[in-house]
Structure formats: structure tokens, C-alpha cells
Amino acid sequence: MKHLPTLALLLLASCGSGDGDLSASPAPSTSPTPTPSPTPSPTASPTPTSMVALTGNIAPAHDPAILKDGNTYYLFTTGNNGDAEGLLALRTSTDLKDWTLRGGSYTALPAWTATAVPGSTGMWAPDISKVGNQYRLYYSISTFGKNQSAIGLATATVIDPTKPAANWVDQGPVIQSTTSDNYNAIDPMAFTDADGRAWMTFGSFWSGIKLIQLDPATGLRLANDPAPRALASRPSPGAIEAPYIVRHGGYYYLFASFDSCCQGANSTYNTVVGRSATVDGPYVDRDGKAMLQGGGTQVLSNGQGTGSRFVGRGHVAILQQSDGDYIVYHAYDTTKNGFPTLQIQKLTWSTDGWPSV
């Protein structure tokens, strides 16, 4: 979600990426308190050489999801009613560097969302993939700080950058959560395992990151799938959300965002990772600590206190391609009142199989 007028709601809901949830476990008593904004250092820290120098329309951009198809990169972000960028804004690039805003992928929220999540005004935390000749665009429907939420799916056989909303067909909800659940159905990410099975990981706050199995033919939840499986959590009030799973070598890697997003220059969002030999876990960090016990090896720091221009780095997507891997995320620009901005960095892997930037 994003923009109240513009920046305010942008900072509030943006996390929809699974982030319309600034609440803690089952019935949080308080929202996490963001770390106060530090006094900027006289000299900003140098830009890492792994950063991709971006141009064009890269802000406001919250909760980025990316897909390369042919010679084009497609990037989708969170959106709220009234946003100039539109709902699930589409940006395209042919070189991963220069980005053009194409507009919203929806002109209005799907009709089913009014009953499923009363009061919802945005489509948050998208995920984009392609299965065969079908594009699958997942999205989150929620309201800030509540877990009466839903994950929806839109499908298309064509993405038309000149008319972003022209070809998407809404398929309705994939999974929903209510106030009686101990999880939050937002921040979806769909993937296929080594055996060809389709999965979705999701979750934000409450009891943490979950996993369900999908029907590979439809992209919807597999019939008779059991209760969501638990992959990662943190003791209350520790925040965890925005999962992303990739395969590398013989492992599955679970990336997740810790701490507070949506607070502009005060955001403490940071990104961690753990890995598992099996898709449903257990995931452990580099020190062997289970992610179900709060473990996670840091990949992106929050940038606070370093003099960095961009802080609160999280809600990542991982782009795997022949010239190497990239980590795609949003961060808040301290020189522009905490405006959420697209960031892309090279992701490297150690000899023992751990990612870093």
C-alpha cells in the first residue's frame, strides 16, 4: 500500500508486501517501536561496488517483484487507490538499469475483496512468475495492523506495457486469514521445487512465515492441502515478513525481512537468510540457529547509523540469471524525506554456499 496523501500512506502501508501488518504475534499489544533516526554522519558511506546504477522512474517503489522474460524485465510494486503510479504499478527495463513506469495493472480492487477484507484500499506486496505461457501475478489484500487478509491471483498470457491492466484476469483468493488465525495471509511468493511441485511462502508478523502447496495447473492452492507449514518466526515483538525462497546448489534459501518498515528514514528493515535441504525446512542460519527460533544470517543491514543515504533495506526478490544473481529491494531515501526507492545489487555466493552483497 502507499500514500496517505502520497508519502504518509506510502510509508504506512507499503509493507503490504506483506506489510500491512505492523503488529506482533497473535494479538499484539503494541507495534514494534522503530529505532530513532540517527544523526547523519558528516560524510556518507561510499556506495558499494555491487550496486546497480539505476535511472528512470525508481521511486516511489515499495515491495518490488521482478521477472525477466525475453529481453524485458518486468517489475511490479505495491499500490493504493489514488496513487499516481496505480495499483500494482508496472515498470519495465531492457537492461536492469533504466526503468520506465507503465502504470497500474488494475484499475480498481477486485470485487471479492470488499467482503473478504472490509476497508481494504490497496493491493500490496506483489509476486510475479511465469509458468508455461501464463504469467501469474499474486498480490496481498489487507488493512494496516490486522490479519484479516487475503492473497489473490491474476493471470495473463500477455503483459502489455502500453496497457498494463488490459490482459490480467482475476482468479480470486488463493488463501485468506481471519482474526482467529495465528498467521497473516500477505507477502506471497510462489516457486517450484526440484521435484516440480508448486509452493507459496507468505507471512508477516503474528506467528511468522508459512508455506502452502499450490496446484501447478492453476496457481491456486492445492485441494486438501493441510494447514500452513511453519518456516520461520521470531519471539514477540520481533517482526518478520516478506519471505522469498530460491534454490542454489543443493539447498533452498529463505530470505526474510526483520524489524520495522514503513517508517521512512526511521525504518529499521533489514534482510536475513537461512537454508534447508528440503523445501519445508528446517531452515537454519550460517551459525546453525533455526529460523523458527529467530535465526537468520544478515544479508542487507538496515543502514542506520552509517551515514548511508538509503536505509531500511528489505522486502527482497532474488533475480537469478546466467550472468549472476541480483537482490532487488526497496530502501528509504534519507535525502528525500524517506521516500521508498528501488535498489538492485549483485548477490554473490561463498564457497560454502552462503549469499552476500
What is the DSSP annotation of 277-336? SSTT---B-TTS-BGGGT--EEEE---TTTT-SEEEEEEEEEEEETTEEEEEEEEEEGGG
pLDDT tens, position by position, 89-142? 999 999 999 999 999 999 999 999 999 999 999 999 999 999 999 999 999 999
For residue 63 the three cell numbers come to 515491495
C-alpha dist (Å) from residue 166 to 60, 157, 170: 23, 11, 12
C-alpha dist (Å) from residue 338 to 4, 62, 129, 350: 14, 12, 30, 33
Q: Which residues are catalytic?
A: 63, 241
Could you identify the residue written with the cell 482467529?
A: 180
pLDDT band at 47; cut points 50, 70, 90: low
For residue 281 the three cell numbers come to 525446512
pLDDT tens, position by position, 239-262? 999 999 999 999 999 999 999 999
| Residue 46 confidence (pLDDT) | 55
- pLDDT over 70 (residue 9): no
pLDDT tens, position by position, 19-38? 433 333 333 333 333 333 33
| Residue 237 confidence (pLDDT) | 86
| Chain mean pLDDT for the chain | 90
pLDDT tens, position by position, 207-237? 999 999 999 999 999 999 999 999 999 998 8
Strands 339-349, 79-80: parallel, antiparallel or unpaired by DSSP?
Answer: unpaired
